[in-house]
Amino acid sequence: MRGATTLSLAHADGVKTVARHAIGLRYPTPVRVVGRSVPRKEGLAKARGRARYVDDLRFPGMLHGRTIRTAIPSGELLGVRFDFDTAGFTVVDHRDVPGRNVVALIQDDQPFLVEREIRHAEEPVLLLAHEDRDALRAASVHLDCRSSEPVLDPERSPRAFKEIAIEKGDLARGFAEAGVVVEGEYRTGRQEHVYIEPQGVIAVPGAGSVTVYGSLQCPYYVHKALVALLGLPPEQVRVVQTETGGGFGGKEEYPSIVAGHAALLALKSGRPVKLVYDRLEDMAATTKRHPSIVRHRTGVAGDGRITAMEIDVLLDGGAYCTLSPVVLSRACLHATGPYRCENVRVRGRVVMTNTPPSGAFRGFGAPQTVFAAEVQMDRVAETLGLDPAALRAGNALRPGDTMATGQRLGEDASALAVLHEALERSDFHRKRRAWTGTGRGIGLSLFFHGAGFTGSGEVTLASRATLELTPRGARVLVGSTEMGQGTRTTLAQIVAETLSCPLERIEVAEPDTARVPDSGPTVASRTCMVVGGLLKACAEEMKGRLGGLSPSAYLRRHGPLTVTKQYEPPPGIAWDDATYRGDAYGTYGWGCDVAEVELDPVTYEVRPTRVTAVAEIGRAVNPLLAAGQVEGGTAQGLGWALLEEVVLREGRMANAQLTNYMVPTTLDTPPIDVTILESPYRQGPFGAKGVGEMPMSGPGPAVANAVRHLGLDVRSLPITPEVVLECASSSTESEETSTRPR
């Protein structure tokens, strides 16, 4: 426990040093808290059971809500029959919508409540509320529906939500230069977020207004959706984030629907309504990671230099558009992997099927295409008889290289640094040689992740952050939410160090749309880098305005002080949405994973025994919290790689329970050896880039490549025993590799 002791002492000492000066007029001692693993602000409240989540709240006269859903994937709703006495119930259908019956997001295609058309098997039709949960559960409703033929296979979908093309160089010339062309098709499945706290909100009606408290990532997304649904002026809608028990993207867009439903019930009944999903409903009805089919055609010169990459990306968007166009965008922008190539064509399509909508999930399309790219790299290495690490090192992006969009990389392009660190740390080459032909395998993946919104997204968002002077220090006012990733603590650390103010004197206000500005959604690994950057600018200005006075002295002399900053793009950033040319992201994080696995020869289970994870994230504002993102993201990636399989039957999830949808337990999760590399990003606060999503991309391909090391040609996730069995029995099948003369 020596290391842990060091942490607490170091922290206590920092506090003491500053406290000596706190009674004076100012804080002359620099406060050094950035780069230190201070404990998370709300940690003890959570660990003592005092933190209040939405289901822990009760309001006088509160009703409970329930959603009645369709059960067929495609068709028409003809009528509704109540098989219970509706007295004492509040019943809402689409005719009760005062505003527009669409979830306002990208395309206004998804209704809050079905009117006639049914596009998937979990569509909400009716809402019920009652004060007694048992009576509510017992209520039986019959839906009279006419079925039509559903589209369940994305390859046969007649309808695309979005198509993207990225072109660089001359593909024909690139293939002409190639000595070898390797082709392959890679597939990944749906993944359920399994935040341990299910979706839930409480809506409280007021006089011509409504307040929603809920478990959510993006208060202003919910606000926008409620304003459109309820037809209320924006100031009459208030959204407050309660302590949130995990999100991972699952509480990015879906809470708008839960909040809308609860608000409709609250406004009709005139009473507060709590709508909290049980696990089954949450798993069956809410969004999943987009399933993918990615095809690669790679031209390689005899020396291992990649001369051409032709990549086709297909994502299954499910029944409604949700965020699919942006997910496709990130998928396509990461499809080449972190490699340089002069001749590239990426074509992407996200299509409609009659399944519950796919949506945001940590990584946001990148893990799917990185999986394909990285397994393809190992197959290229095999074809050429090259070491997979050497092939990657030879082709990895370096500072000054241009990516498929023409973006030129800065000095913080660390693909080679993470690769070398992971190889050394894991003793990759020795194990690779020693384990060949045994029941153990080792594989690696090299990956990257654009930090912040894609393309012109950050400019469009125009996020704002506010810092307010308090008698003791300052209060952070942002719409960014804490959902476990450490927002409260890291943002406070940035402000404390910039203001030279003790960390415990920095408060972080509850995200409440009545009080905080719109700082953009808490997604895309953007909070620390973008919102943290705005707060750093706020704190710098505040420090200047204080002019050496302590906060209380300033307030006495000059009155209240608040500073607000709005996002402005760093100089030299340009992006064209029409041509997909330019700087897709301000910067990138870089990662390399090495997975070690064992194959059980009897059960065909693949068991990970150790993962070495190296992540270059600019600067770790709080190393312990940053490492926590890597550890947790790696475990979630291992689940996607080996265990987690959403089984759909007739467009419905057949295993919507934690009994048969398996997420990693303590026994499924191996030791994860994390190294964080720092290569400061000039535009990030104290050099920080994003970290949250990137760790999701590495484990899938690293595990698949470790299984490949065992001699099994795996090209899909999850790698269940059934998949291993199939690979083992078809290992003699013909290769898709063609070698041709130059």
Residues 198-217 that bind other proteins (CB under 8 A): 198
197 belongs to the binding site for other proteins (CB under 8 A) = yes
State the Cα–Cα distance between residues 717 and 726, nearest whole angstrom. 13
6 belongs to the binding site for other proteins (CB under 8 A) = yes
Q: Which residues of 545-617 form beta strands (DSSP E)?
A: 562-566, 575-576, 581-582, 587-599, 606-616
Q: Which residues of 172-243 form beta strands (DSSP E)?
A: 180-188, 200-206, 209-214, 237-241
State the Cα–Cα distance between residues 341 and 620, nearest whole angstrom. 31
Residue 457's contacts (CB-CB under 8 Å, 6 or more residues apart) are 326, 524
The count of chain residues that interact with other proteins, using the rule CB under 8 A, is 91
Residue 668's contacts (CB-CB under 8 Å, 6 or more residues apart) are 607, 608, 638, 639, 642, 643, 662
Nearer to other proteins by Cβ, of 73 and 687: the residue is 687
CB-CB contact of 702 with 642 (8 Å): no
Q: Least Å distance between CB 13 and other proteins? A: 12
CB-CB contact of 396 with 416 (8 Å): yes
Q: Which residues of 290-397 form beta strands (DSSP E)?
A: 292-300, 306-318, 344-352
504 belongs to the binding site for other proteins (CB under 8 A) = no
State the Cα–Cα distance between residues 692 and 351, nearest whole angstrom. 27
State the Cα–Cα distance between residues 166 and 445, nearest whole angstrom. 23
Angle at 710 between CA 708 and CA 714, to 5 degrees: 30
Q: Least Å distance between CB 430 and other proteins? A: 13
What CA dihedral angle connects 735, 166, 420 and 676, to 10 degrees? Answer: -130
- Which residues, 638 to 657, sit near other proteins by CB under 8 A? 657
Residue 355 phi/psi, 5-degree rounding, is -130, 160
State the Cα–Cα distance between residues 649 and 658, nearest whole angstrom. 17
Q: Which residues of 509-567 form beta strands (DSSP E)?
A: 562-566
Q: Least Å distance between CB 637 and other proteins? A: 10
Nearer to other proteins by Cβ, of 316 and 482: the residue is 482
3 belongs to the binding site for other proteins (CB under 8 A) = yes
- Which residues, 56 to 75, sit near other proteins by CB under 8 A? 56
Q: Least Å distance between CB 444 and other proteins? A: 14
Q: Least Å distance between CB 213 and other proteins? A: 14
Could you report how far apart the first and last alpha carbons of the chain are, in Å?
61
Q: Least Å distance between CB 284 and other proteins? A: 13
627 belongs to the binding site for other proteins (CB under 8 A) = yes
- Which residues, 249 to 278, sit near other proteins by CB under 8 A? 278
Among residues 21, 32, 53, 402, the one that binds other proteins under rule CB under 8 A = 53
DSSP for 69-135, written as a single string? E--SSSEEEEEEEE-S--TT-EEE-GGG-SS-SS--SSSTT--SS-SSEE-STT-EEEEEEES-HHH
Among residues 279, 305, 347, 472, the one that binds other proteins under rule CB under 8 A = 279
Q: Which stretch binds other proteins (CB under 8 A): 6-14, 95-103, 323-331, 437-445?
A: 6-14
Q: Element (H or E) spanning 572, and its range?
A: none
Interaction pattern, residues 676-695, with other proteins; x per rule: CB under 8 A: xxxx----------------
Nearer to other proteins by Cβ, of 540 and 673: the residue is 673
- Which residues, 375 to 434, sit near other proteins by CB under 8 A? 393-394, 398-400, 411-414, 416-418, 420-421, 423-424
Nearer to other proteins by Cβ, of 96 and 281: the residue is 281
Q: Which stretch binds other proteins (CB under 8 A): 81-89, 173-181, 578-586, 618-626?
A: 618-626
Nearer to other proteins by Cβ, of 346 and 625: the residue is 625
- Which residues, 282 to 301, sit near other proteins by CB under 8 A? none
- Which residues, 33 to 52, sit near other proteins by CB under 8 A? 37, 39-40, 42-52
663 belongs to the binding site for other proteins (CB under 8 A) = yes
State the Cα–Cα distance between residues 479 and 466, nearest whole angstrom. 10
Among residues 115, 131, 342, 673, the one that binds other proteins under rule CB under 8 A = 673
Q: Which stretch binds other proteins (CB under 8 A): 88-96, 97-105, 568-576, 661-669?
A: 661-669
Interaction pattern, residues 568-607, with other proteins; x per rule: CB under 8 A: ----------------------------------------
CB-CB contact of 170 with 308 (8 Å): no
557 belongs to the binding site for other proteins (CB under 8 A) = no
CA distances from 352 to 105, 162, 260, 336 (A): 17, 10, 24, 25
Nearer to other proteins by Cβ, of 8 and 738: the residue is 8
Q: Which two tokens stand for residue 55?
A: 């289901």
608 belongs to the binding site for other proteins (CB under 8 A) = no
318 belongs to the binding site for other proteins (CB under 8 A) = no
Is the previous residue joined to 233 through a cis bond, with omega within 30 degrees of 0? no
Nearer to other proteins by Cβ, of 46 and 440: the residue is 46
Residue pointed to by tokens 């602000």: 41
15 belongs to the binding site for other proteins (CB under 8 A) = no
Residue 438's contacts (CB-CB under 8 Å, 6 or more residues apart) are none
Q: Which stretch binds other proteins (CB under 8 A): 53-61, 90-98, 341-349, 539-547?
A: 53-61
Among residues 14, 184, 214, 486, the one that binds other proteins under rule CB under 8 A = 486
Residue pointed to by tokens 């000595």: 179
Nearer to other proteins by Cβ, of 429 and 515: the residue is 429
Q: Least Å distance between CB 190 and other proteins? A: 16
Among residues 632, 651, 700, 701, the one that binds other proteins under rule CB under 8 A = 632
Q: Which two tokens stand for residue 150?
A: 């559903």
Q: Which stretch binds other proteins (CB under 8 A): 559-567, 570-578, 620-628, 705-713?
A: 620-628
Among residues 546, 635, 641, 724, the one that binds other proteins under rule CB under 8 A = 635
Among residues 329, 355, 669, 683, the one that binds other proteins under rule CB under 8 A = 669
